[in-house]
Amino acid sequence: MSEFVDRVSVHVKGGDGGNGSAGIRREKYKPLAGPNGGNGGDGGSVILVADANANNLLDFRFLPHRSAGNGTMGLGDTKDGSRGEDLILPVPLGTVVFEAKGPVGRPKKPGKVLADLRHQGETFVAAAGGSGGLGNAALANKTRRAPGFALLGEPGQERDLLLELKSIADVALVGFPSAGKSSLIAAMSAAKPKIADYPFTTLVPNLGVVKYGDYRYTIADVPGLIPGASQGKGLGLEFLRHIERTEIIVHVIDCATLDPDRDPLSDYRALEEELALYADALKLPLGSIPIPDRPRIIVLNKMDVPEAKELAEFVRPEFEKMGLEVYEVSTASHEGLKEFGFALGKQVQEMRRQVLDQEQAEDEARVVIKPLEETGRRRRREDGRGSASDFSIVREEDRGGDFWFTVTGAKPERWVMQTNFDNEEAVGYLADRLAKLGVEDELRHLGARPGDEVRIGQGDRAVAFDWDPTIAAGAEILDGANLGARGKDLRLEEQEAGGRRRTNEERRRQYHEMMDARAAVRQAMMAERKAGHWADPSLDDDRHDEHGILGRGEDSEPATPGDQA
């Protein structure tokens, strides 16, 4: 017989997004013809789906770690990576998903309710996949025309969940141990629960499908309850949650008990007190009927015993005075089962209609805001402009006097995970985004100085660095200067001595300057030629020029013979 599991802890992880590509289109005579890197594929998600064919959580007991597929990396020629495959996990109807709390290696406790999967086909994204990184083609703009970097893919969501099954049945059978609940469900349905003559025979809830005429409904056999079950006594605390989703509560009372301290009326009052205590601490989903308002039916069992028959005739008027329906049955001789089955089916049909109307009323009263449908992949804003509410900065200090500034927020933490810190241009791009978001202004407002430690994020994914607002920022931002792209592209430094690629306007201006200089040289040379300044260098036409080609430096007038004498 398979083990019944109704509470498990599971560790789920969404797929990581693929990295973007930093490809460059290469053409003849154009080694850097433009960026063409594609975006990385998104990671797959872990999705829980309510399935009527699933009856327990046994699969999660043996495989508690589940993860979805990763996205692939983008390629050149603007080829985007493929999306990771989603992991679809079927769970039984009535599964409640809690946020698991507790230290590592210890049993988890339920925290915040994340989802309540009650109907067929309802889904819940247990762990969302990470977004793929943008390629350099998507990062290009008018100030950064050829980015030499791409964004990294974001890691998928990872967390611990607690799955708890609250059986969805139309009728719940409650009663003291050995009251005959398992025998009743076995007599009315095809279920084969364990039946024995000792208390707490039923250790797990049993479900049975009952069909009488046109009526078809489900009965849940809850393990025996005793006084104190709502505080954890006996087995009641573990299985009281299985009556939360039932529409009708049937009290199965043993009229043949040999315990002198028990009688049908005291059994009924004791169990109702435990149900009331459990209902006070219970948060029911929208549209559900509170446990105290659900109809009660009394079943006086074991009518095949003569003493039980006499006791039933004595206590039946007392229950009817309370406005309760009473049925006398025997699971051994099947006495009264047919009458009880048809009456129960009629009551179930009425309660289903009432619950449906109440759920529709609750849905109409709620205001549901749905996001607009988007076709295709939405391009993220490259500038990352935001407000101060998008992040928060706290100055922290330890006992040794060391202090640092911690920056938290969805945008800064996501941008840090997307940055390749081995690429200086990518780090400059991150600095641009943080500056435009207002992080540097807020750090300056809190008294941060260059060299102070700044941490972005928390936990293992936090990134620490020394704050340096002078990297092509700082005063330039305060002066209102148009901040360009920070960081350096090593490819362009090797390509041009100026350390960056010239714009078309600069190319045109330099070309015209060069052509004007050539024209001026030609004009000057033509003027010298017309003035006779040009001569054959092989002829010594000026023998008195000591700086001439021959350099003889003779006097301008020849000496006379008298002078020589």
Enumerate the known binding-site residues for Mg(2+): 182, 202
Please give the structure tokens belonging to residue 476: 């330039």
**Residues annotated as binding site for GTP?**
175-182, 200-204, 221-224, 301-304, 330-332
In this structure, the chain runs to a length of 565
Cα radius of gyration rounded to whole Å, the chain: 42
Backbone angles phi, psi at 231, to 5 degrees: -100, 5
Residues 6 or more apart whose Cβ sits within 8 Å of residue 294: 246, 247, 248, 249, 351
List, edge to edge, every strand of the sheet that includes 325-328.
206-212, 215-221, 171-174, 248-254, 296-301, 325-328
Angle, CA of 465, 469 and 470, to the nearest 5°: 120
Please say whether the beta carbons of 387 and 410 come within 8 A.
Answer: no
Backbone angles phi, psi at 271, to 5 degrees: -70, -35
One-letter amino acid of 334 = H
Residues 6 or more apart whose Cβ sits within 8 Å of residue 513: none
List, edge to edge, every strand of the sheet that includes 463-466.
392-397, 403-408, 453-456, 463-466
In 3D space, the residue among 383, 417, 409, 380 whose CA is nearest the CA of residue 152 turns out to be 417
**Residues annotated as binding site?**
175-182, 200-204, 221-224, 301-304, 330-332
Give the β-pairing of 453-456 and 65-67: unpaired
